[in-house]
Chains A and B, each alone.
Chain A
Amino acid sequence: MDFSTTITFNGLIQQFIVGLSRTTILFIVSSGLSLVLGVLRIPNVAHGSLYMLGAFLCYSVATLFGNSPIGFWFAILLAPIGVAIISLATERGLFCHLYDREHLMLLLFTFALMLIFHDAVKLIWGSEYRSLTPPVIFQGSLPILGMPFPKYNLFLLSIGPIVAVGLWFLTQRTKIGKIARAAAVDRDMVGAVGINVSWVFASVFVIGCFLAGLGGALVAPTQNITQGMDHTIIMEAFLIVIIGGLGNVWGALLGALIFGLTDSMGIMILPQFSIVFPYAAVVIVLIFRPKGLLRATW
Chain B
Amino acid sequence: MLQVDGIQSFYGSSHILFGLSLTVNRGEIVCLLGRNGAGKSTTMKSIMGLVPPRQGSIRFKDENITGQKPYLIARMGMGFVPDDRRVFFDLTVDENLEISERRIEKSDSWNRDRVYDFFQPLKHIRSRKAGLLSGGEQQMLTIARALVTNPELLLLDEPTEGLAPMIVDMLEHRIRALRDAGLTILLAEQNQKTALGLSDRGYILDNGVIRYQGAIKDLQENEEVMRKYLLV
**Using a CB–CB distance below 8 Å, which chain A residues touch chain B?**
175, 178-179, 181-182, 184-186, 188-197
Contacts and interface: CB of A to CB of B under 8 A. Distances in A.
B90 A182 contact: yes
A194 B74 contact: yes
B18 to A, nearest CB: 24
Contacts of A185: 88-90
A194 B50 contact: no
B59 interface: no
Contact of A182 (B50, B80, B99): B99
9 contacts: A181-B88, A182-B91, A185-B90, A188-B70, A189-B86, A190-B99, A192-B80, A193-B80, A193-B100
A193 B86 CA distance: 12
Nearest to A172: B95
- 5 pairs of A and B residues whose beta carbons are closest in the complex: A194-B74, A182-B88, A193-B100, A191-B70, A191-B71
B88 A194 contact: no
Interface string B79-115: 0101000101111000110111010000000000000
B50 A193 contact: no
B44 to A, nearest CB: 10
B16 interface: no
B15 interface: no
A195 B71 CA distance: 5
A190 B95 CA distance: 13
A187 to B, nearest CB: 10
Contacts of B102: 194
B217 interface: no
B40 interface: no
A197 B99 contact: no
B50 A188 contact: yes
Interface residues of B, number: 23
Interface in B45-96: 48, 50, 69-71, 74-75, 80, 82, 86, 88-91, 95-96
A185 B75 CA distance: 21
Contacts of B74: 191-194
A191 B48 CA distance: 10
Contacts of B71: 191-192, 194-197
A179 B100 CA distance: 9
A191 B69 contact: yes
Contacts of A189: 82, 86, 88
Given A194-B75, A194-B149, A175 B86 contact: no
B201 interface: no
A193 B149 contact: yes
A136 to B, nearest CB: 46
Contacts of A193: 74, 80, 99-100, 145-146, 149
A179 B95 CA distance: 9
A4 to B, nearest CB: 50
Given A191-B69, A197-B71, A181 B145 contact: no
A201 to B, nearest CB: 12
Most buried by A among B69, B88, B91, B99: B99
A101 to B, nearest CB: 15
B99 A195 contact: yes
Contacts of B149: 193-194
A186 B90 CA distance: 10
A192 B48 contact: yes
B103 to A, nearest CB: 12
Contact of A178 (B75, B95, B145): B95
Given A182-B96, A189-B82, 4 more contacts: A182-B90, A192-B71, A194-B149, A197-B71
A185 to B, nearest CB: 6
B111 to A, nearest CB: 14
A185 B69 CA distance: 19
Nearest to B95: A178
Interface in B90-145: 90-91, 95-96, 98-100, 102, 145
Nearest to B92: A178
A181 B89 CA distance: 9
Contacts of A192: 48, 50, 70-71, 74, 80, 82
B113 to A, nearest CB: 18
A186 B88 contact: yes
